[in-house]
């Protein structure tokens, strides 16, 4: 979700995210649908061979709700 859109709907989405975080804490569970990530490969250096798999490293993109929940529990 783009940041500008999140800022525009913040007052509507914040209570929903708060209830999701509270439910997760009360149930002592991390929601299964928040455990998935989009994994992309990124070349370590631009001059490395693109056909060699050792030239890449995995980058995991988690959802922002997952990151918020993790920060809430961590603090």
Nearest CA to 72 out of 32, 33, 14 is that of 14
Which pLDDT value is given to residue 62?
87
Confidence label for 49 from pLDDT (cuts 50, 70 and 90): very high
Tens digits of per-residue pLDDT, 13-39?
Answer: 999 989 988 999 999 988 888 888 899
Tens digits of per-residue pLDDT, 50-61?
Answer: 999 999 999 998
Nearest CA to 30 out of 1, 59, 61, 65 is that of 65
Which pLDDT value is given to residue 2?
78
Segment 19-27 long-range contacts (CB within 8 Å, at least 24 positions apart): 20/65, 20/69, 21/68, 21/69, 21/72, 21/73, 24/69, 24/73, 25/72, 25/73
Please indicate, yes or no, whether the overall pTM of this predicted structure exceeds 0.85.
no
């Amino acid at each position: 979700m783009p940041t500008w859109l999140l800022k525009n709907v913040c007052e509507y989405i914040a209570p929903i995210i708060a209830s999701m975080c509270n439910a997760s804490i009360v149930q002592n569970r991390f929601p299964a649908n928040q455990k998935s990530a989009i994994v992309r490969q990124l070349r370590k250096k631009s001059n490395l061979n693109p056909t060699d798999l050792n030239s890449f490293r995995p980058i995991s993109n988690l959802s922002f709700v997952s990151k918020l929940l993790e920060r809430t529990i961590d603090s």
